[in-house]
Structures are given as C-alpha cells and as structure tokens.
Amino acid sequence: MDTLLVTGGAGFIGANFVRWLMDQTAVRVTVLDKLTYAGNRDSLAGLPGDRVEFVRGDVCDAELVERLVAGVDAVVHFAAESHNDNSLNDPSPFIQTNLVGTYTLLQAVRRHGVRYHHISTDEVYGDLELDVPTRFTEATPYNPSSPYSASKAGSDLLVRAWVRSFDVQATLSNCSNNYGPYQHIEKFIPRQITNVLCGLRPKLYGSGANVRDWIHVDDHNEAVWTILNRGQIGQTYLIGADGERDNRQVIEDILTLLGRPSDDYDLVADRPGHDLRYAIDSTKLRQELGWSPRYPSFQQGLAATIEWYRQHEDWWRPAKEATEAKYAQQGQ
C-alpha cells in the first residue's frame, strides 16, 4: 500500500493518523477535508510536502471524490460530524456528512476497486448499565441513542451492505473515546484542561457518574493501520484499551495534575439522552491481528495531553470564546 486518501485528516484523529503514518510508514497521503469548525490546517503543520497533499473539499462532492479515489491504493474515512451535543442542536449536517458522505465514498471505491476502511464508534451499540461486567463486542446489536450515533450506525450499515452486495473491499472499526493532542476543545477532556488553563471551572454534566472507555489516539491509529493491512474484508473490529473511568474521576485527575483542588468544578445541566456507560471488549482485534495498546496508562497519557495543551495555546485559544459561548447558551 503506497498511497492513501485520508478523509477528515485535519480533524483530531485524522491529523494524528497522518502524523503517525509519516513517522511509522513510507506511504504518501492525500488529505480530503472540508475544514468545518472542527478542522484545522495547523494540525498538519510541518509535515513533508512531498508525502502529504492537502485538498480542501467535501466528501459529499461526488466528482471530487471520484477523482481522488481513482489515484490511491486505499481510503481511510475519518471525516464526520463528531460531536453529540451539536447533533442535539442541529442534526442536519450529521445526516449529510455521515450518511451521504459515506455513500459517496462507497460508490467511488466500488467503481475503482479501491480498498476502504471505515472509522466508526462504540456509540452505535447504545449504552451499558453501570457496575456490571458486560462490554460491547462485535456481536452486540446496534442501538444508537443520539442523532450523531444514529448517523454513524447508518453509515456502518451502508458499508456492510456495499461489501455484501457489491464486493467492496472494506473493513470497519468501532473505537471507544479517544484523547490526545489536537482534539477540539468542545470535547470533554480538552474542554476541562483549557478551562483550568483559562481560570474557568471545569463543567461536569449531570452527576458525573457516566463512564467512558478512554484510549490514546495513537493506540487507535496503530489499530487502524493494523486492520487496513491485515484485517479480513467485510469484518468489524472493536478497538479499546480497557480504560473505563467515570467523568467525575477524569475531572478530578485533570484538576489534580494541574495543581488545583480536586473539587474545584461545577455541576451543569445534563445532556439529553446521555449514554450511561461505554465499554469495549477488544479480544477479536488482539487475538486475530495481534494488536495491543502501547500507551502505558491513562494517567500518563492524560499528563502528556495536559502538557500538550499547555504548550499549544496558539492552536486552541482562537476557538475558546466561541466554544464556551455555545455551551453557556445550553446552560452547560
């Protein structure tokens, strides 16, 4: 595999994926990204110009997608509207990008016989009870809760149908919550880090008992590369690093690592339909493809992430005021 089309490569996980590829492989990459509010050209700064080409455009633009897909060995599709809270305020871009965008790419890879990897989320499975050992597996029925997760679930089903009906050479992965550098500050962990750095109090939805299963973005991306190279066509792989923590614990960790009292946060309005708990069983990926996470612990990864936001204020500061103004309108 010499050339890849990476959609959403100016977003959080996509930008880290392109950076990871530059470090770990010899592939050449074309990034296709619309640069919505969530995309940032600076997230790709400093990468070699002879190996990374940036194209600003929409995954729903069939003509553009057709042309770009025709020139590569594989497509990795990260581009999406990705934030649950936004999907509750206005679902329409979620339907367009996540469903129509995926359909547009599938039609192009079908025509050109190009390998395709679909990036999805554990949220397609709905949520789990607290304090039970149950975790999501590849066999868990789909049961999405929000417009975001429903649009991702729909896009996954399109991929499966294109594999079965048209022999598209696709794999899928559903990963748990990512953290790390270049994550938009609307998301939980960077929002709280940058709040503390700005002298604001972190904001915890509801009671803070909701559990997320955290994985460092580099571990996610190494799993994606593994599946792209060794995954079985038509198969789904769950990606997770056994990182379950409740939101309250995470806020307390952030405050402690930043030298603040661990109770220096506000409880704010809960998210409507807020999923209680996500937890991934990644046995299939570990046993069949030999992947395992490298990041030693959530605590170490979190400390490194805090340090990154401390040192890259120029990257996040321009978005802070507008992001917080939007949350303030929602009482969050």
Helices and strands, counts by H and E, the chain: 12, 13
Question: 211 is in the binding site of which of ligand TDX, ligand NAD, none (Cβ under 5 to 8 A by kind)?
Answer: none
Strand stretches in the chain, DSSP E: 3-7, 28-33, 52-56, 74-77, 115-121, 170-175, 178-179, 203-205, 211-213, 215-216, 236-239, 244-246, 266-268
Question: 10 is in the binding site of which of ligand NAD, ligand TDX, none (Cβ under 5 to 8 A by kind)?
Answer: ligand NAD
For residue 208, give the DSSP letter. S
SS3 57: coil
Please say whether the beta carbons of 240 and 122 come within 8 A. Answer: yes
Instruction: Tell me which of 14, 154, 181, 202 binds ligand NAD, using CB under 6 A.
Output: 14
Q: Which of 45, 320, 85 is nearest to 193 (CA)?
A: 320
Nearer to ligand TDX, 72 or 324 (CB): 324
Question: 97 is in the binding site of which of ligand NAD, ligand TDX, none (Cβ under 5 to 8 A by kind)?
Answer: ligand NAD
Work out how close the CB of 90 gets to ligand TDX at its nearest, in angstroms, rounded to a whole number. 16
Nearer to ligand TDX, 97 or 177 (CB): 177
59-88: contacts with ligand NAD (CB under 6 A): 59-60, 78-82
Nearer to ligand NAD, 5 or 10 (CB): 10
Give yes or no: 122 in active site. yes
SS3 29: strand
Question: 35 is in the binding site of which of ligand NAD, ligand TDX, none (Cβ under 5 to 8 A by kind)?
Answer: ligand NAD
Q: Which two tokens stand for residue 181?
A: 């550098």
Positions that interact with ligand TDX (CB under 6 A): 82-84, 121, 123, 177, 187-188, 191, 203-205, 210, 212, 247, 271
CB neighbour list of residue 32: distance below 8 Å, 6 or more residues apart: 5, 6, 7, 8, 9, 55, 57, 59, 64, 65, 68, 79
Hunting for tokens 């309108």 — which residue is that? 329
User: If binding is defined by CB under 6 A, does position 305 make contact with ligand NAD?
Assistant: no
| The one catalytic residue among 103, 116, 125, 148 | 148
Q: List the Cα angle 89/160/22 in 5-degree steps.
A: 75
Please say whether the beta carbons of 226 and 289 come within 8 A. Answer: yes
Work out how close the CB of 267 gets to ligand NAD at its nearest, in angstroms, rounded to a whole number. 23
Question: 191 is in the binding site of which of ligand NAD, ligand TDX, none (Cβ under 5 to 8 A by kind)?
Answer: ligand TDX
List the catalytic residues: 122-123, 148
Q: Which residues bind ligand NAD (CB under 6 A)?
A: 7-8, 10-14, 32-36, 38-39, 58-60, 78-82, 97, 101, 119, 121, 152, 175, 177-178, 184
